[in-house]
Structure formats: C-alpha cells, structure tokens
A and B are shown apart, each in its own frame.
Chain A
C-alpha cells in the first residue's frame, strides 16, 4: 500500500495525471500554477507511461492542442491560471461545440486583468456560466484539498469521456500552492483503444470521422443545440456532487467551495462555541450546481451566508436555488485577500443570524 506524500496541490494534480493514464499535457507557464508543468517535465512521464508533455507558445495554442488531441481520442489536459484561462475560452467553446473530452485546471488568482498572483475565486461565473461564446457548459469540480486536486483528475476524465464534454477543475492559488498529505491511486494504463469517433485515420470499414462545431444550416444547428441541452440536463440530473458538514442540527448555513469552504469549517467551530448552530454546504460540482439539495435545506434553516473569495458570484446560484425561501447574504474578500474565520463569523452575525 502506498504511503502518503507531502505535496503541493499543483504537484499532486501533475502526479495524478500521470497515474490517470493521461496521454498528453499541453500548457504555458503562469503563476500560481507553473509547478504543474515543472513537475511533469521533471517526472519524465514519457518514460513512465509514454505521456506527451509539451510547453506551448501560448494558452491559445495549448487549448487548441487539446482540441486536436481530444479529437484524436486521447486523454488530454492543460492547466493555467485566470488570465491564461481567459485566453482559452475560444478553444473551450470549440471543444464543447465539437463534443470532445478534455480536462482544464484553473488555479485561480485575483482579477480582473493581470490582477494579482494571490488566491481568489473570482472566476466562478466564467467557469460555470460558459466563459466562451455559445450555449454550452463545462463540467466544473472544485477541490478543497490537495487530495481532491489529485482525485478529481480521474473523476473529470471519467465524466469528460462519458459525456464527451470538456471538464474543469476550479482550484485556487491557495490549494495549488499549499502542501498537504496526499495518497495517489495506482498507475492506470493509457488508452490503447481509440474511441470510435476518434480521428485516427479513416479505415475502409467506417465512415470518416469529422470534428467540427460548424453547421451553416440553422434548422440542423438548432437540433444539435437541442442535443447539447439534453446532454446538459442529463448531467444536471446525474452528476451533482456536494458535501454537508454539521448540517443535521444547523439553523444557519454557510455555502462555500474550495479554500473558502476550508476556512468556513473553522468558522463553524467558532460560531458553535458562541451558540450559533451553523453548518456548511460545500458544492463539489459547481456545474451542475446542487440546486435541489440546497433548496431542500431551506425547510430546516433560517438563513444562508455564501462565502467566496470574490465580489459575490456563486451567491446568484444560491439565490436561484432557495427561490426566496430564506435570507441569503454574501461575504467575501477580493483582490487575492483571504477571509479569516473570525471575519466570517462576524459577517454571519451581522448579515444573517444576529446576536
């Protein structure tokens, strides 16, 4: 049995990628996630599994390398941070439009623009509401630990290939940079058999495989969009993931993901010491969002504080979920600042629970 290792989140995602049997990583350096490619280059995955690792000339090129590699039926991934992920939005739209699987890791930093290199959760809207042009969704998972940075690589590729859809790990600079214990899965083999839709060369026994997002006939293109909508509906029904902490007797609720959810666990302890029964609802999939599950909590609780390292983006999904049944407020820090557990408890008192 393998031992725990002490590792940064960025390194864990890289090691997990090799072990998940990823065929290709294409990336471009950007703080605070450069350790992903540095780890991969140093680990010589080509010798371990035959995995291709290539430093692209830009994030634009990297995401389009994913498009090519995914079309060829391979498990391909990239990682970047906010400004780089913005550059990838065009490519992600094309990959979603061509219905191809891939994994993108966003180790979010503060924005807008060049922003800062410190942790943030200000890319929630971009990640969950589309980002690029067109009616599409990424499947978005938010890790809250180094262990989940590793585990979600496999989860994301399983989902990506199951639904032929791009997936995103929405992390942040804190989880990318902090060191925690992590245990890795056994080495998986790389894909040896190409999916039937892969562009591997047209053999006489089949029609040619084409990957495109173009259809100039609007009635046909509407049918394609309807197919996508059905797919997204199925994902919303089947793939929602979340975690509830100390919710059984909770009268109030924090809704938070990623680093914020870790801080909220300390806030819960502090609040409960002061007599406020608060629990944590942690969405793990940010799209599909656990709307029904949050709505179900409204029978039991009196109010919700969403805690995000942003100006308040996820709160919109919480508001849509609760449909006005309970009071919802936001507390957050921006620009790379991280809220303290005490600040969060104070915000809970002021905005929701009183006392």
Chain B
C-alpha cells in the first residue's frame, strides 16, 4: 500500500477525462440506486450540451418516476398531466417551430393513459423527440402492472404473474409507432452497460438532430430496469432485464429516416420498416 498514490494525487484537473455536463443541475436525483433514469437524464443533457442547443430546447416531463426531471435538467421544461406530454409538445413545437422539443415518458404514461396522445402525435408527424423509458412497471406508485409488463411477470397488481388471458398482452408501442408514416426515426436502446450507454447516447443525439429534417417524430425507447419495483438488487435487475426483457423488446433501430443528415461519408441511411439494425435481428412485426 505504501507505494500507491492517494486519490488526491490522481484527481487533478489535468487527469480528468470526464465531467458532469452543465446541462444537468447539481440537485441530487431521487432515483433508486441502479435505476436507468439517472443515466438517461445524463445522456439527454450531454446531447443537448454537445449540440449546443440548451437555449433552444424545451422539455416536457411526464407523471411517473421522472415527474421531477425538471429539477435535474438546466433547461426550460413543462410538467404535463399523466400521459399528455405529446399534446403539450405538439403545441410547443408548432408555436415555436425553430426550437428543439422533447418529451420524456415512462411506460404507464406513454403506453397506457397517454396511448392516444402518443399515437396521434406520431401519426400527425409532429417534429419533436420522444424519449420512452420502458421498465415494465409503475415505479412511482409502488410496482403495479404496466401495459409493458411481461407475460407471467409478478407485480403488485398481478401478484401471481401477468395472466395474458385475463390481463391482456404487453404493448409494443415502439413497433406500433414505427408503422406510422409520421415517425422518421424509431429505435430501442438500453443503458445497462457502458457499450449500451454509448449506443443510446448516439441514438438520442440522432433523434434530436432529426428534428431538423421535419419528417416527423424521432422516438427512442430505453428498455430499463426497476430494481425497487422488480424487488431485486440493481445487478440482479439488469441481469433479469437482459434475460427476459430484451428477448421481448429487442434492441436496435426499427426505422431510420429517408434522407441522410450530417452523416459521415458512406453512412447512408435507408428508410424501411424491414430495415433492421445489424446489431439486432430480432425485430418482428
């Protein structure tokens, strides 16, 4: 131990390779340990900083675990009623068409109570971004069954497991909105590993950039864990997610825009519902 340097020797300005983005505030997040919300907030904030659009971005927070997102993002935000974020974002973007507008919604918000607002905003081809956190459960209210809860998955309102004959099937909103002509970019990502965080960050960046295309909604689903709601440790919940959520909600791009924007040479994008990201061959309709 005698030869090792103390942390004070290492943590110096010239040694730092990472810093918190200024678009995140210093408020301590209320999220449970291991939750994907914190990471996803950071990615959205980093993308806003990288694109230099802090002064041109308006976010809409949902009702759910991320209801207090506006405490953590140093941008103008509005907190919507449960499920209505796409309606707010529709008006904000139409009235301020040069601004970047995004909603951030959980599965209960987007895929249950807000299904109508989600589908119609997507179908009208509104030019904003939807960040959709899917953890298959209602986290904030204490772990009730969500529209995205997997078959046989136990929750506080499906204590013996989700019986799909009685309780219906999980809803794949992301595949559903990909079929609508009003979406231009639809992708499913996760933030459970460094490699996936990097991919998710790229996807979120593209989603914001694609607002300039004016070809419709850019939709990023993040399949995430809920260790508290799933009653697991953070590590267990990530493993469970990989084993159970990803087969049902496969990761990868589902739809990419027709027109190439700000891409490197040779990186041409094609628009096709059948075009599946090479990383993920599991997307089915």
Contact = CB atoms under 8 A, between A and B. Distances in A.
Are A and B part of the same complex?
A: yes
A275 interface: no
Contacts of B88: 64-65, 67-68, 71
Contacts, number: 127
B81 interface: yes
Contacts of B78: 67-68, 71, 98, 199, 210-212
Interface in A202-229: 202-204, 208-214
A247 B90 CA distance: 50
Contacts of B117: 57, 60-61, 64
A66 interface: yes
B55 A203 contact: yes
Interface in A56-89: 56-58, 60-62, 64-69, 71-72, 74, 76
Contacts of A90: 81
B81 A199 contact: no
Interface in A172-205: 199-204
B218 to A, nearest CB: 18
B77 A68 contact: no
A24 B120 contact: no
B120 A209 contact: no
Interface in B21-79: 54-58, 60-61, 67-68, 70, 73-79
Contact of B79 (A26, A200, A212): A212
Nearest to B30: A216
Contacts of B61: 212
B96 interface: yes
In which size bucket is the chain A interface? 35 or more
Given A66-B91, A69-B95, A57 B116 contact: yes
Contacts of A200: 58, 76, 96, 99
Given A67-B84, A208-B76, A211-B79, A23 B95 contact: yes
A277 to B, nearest CB: 52
Contacts of B99: 200-201
A204 B55 CA distance: 7
B94 interface: yes
B87 interface: yes
B55 A201 contact: yes
Contact of B91 (A69, A202, A203, A208): A69
Interface of A: 23-24, 26, 52, 54, 56-58, 60-62, 64-69, 71-72, 74, 76, 90-91, 94, 98, 199-204, 208-214
Give the 6 A-B CB pairs with smallest separation, nearest first: A68-B88, A64-B87, A212-B79, A69-B91, A68-B91, A199-B76
13 contacts: A54-B90, A67-B81, A68-B60, A72-B95, A94-B80, A199-B58, A201-B75, A201-B76, A202-B74, A208-B70, A210-B78, A211-B78, A213-B79
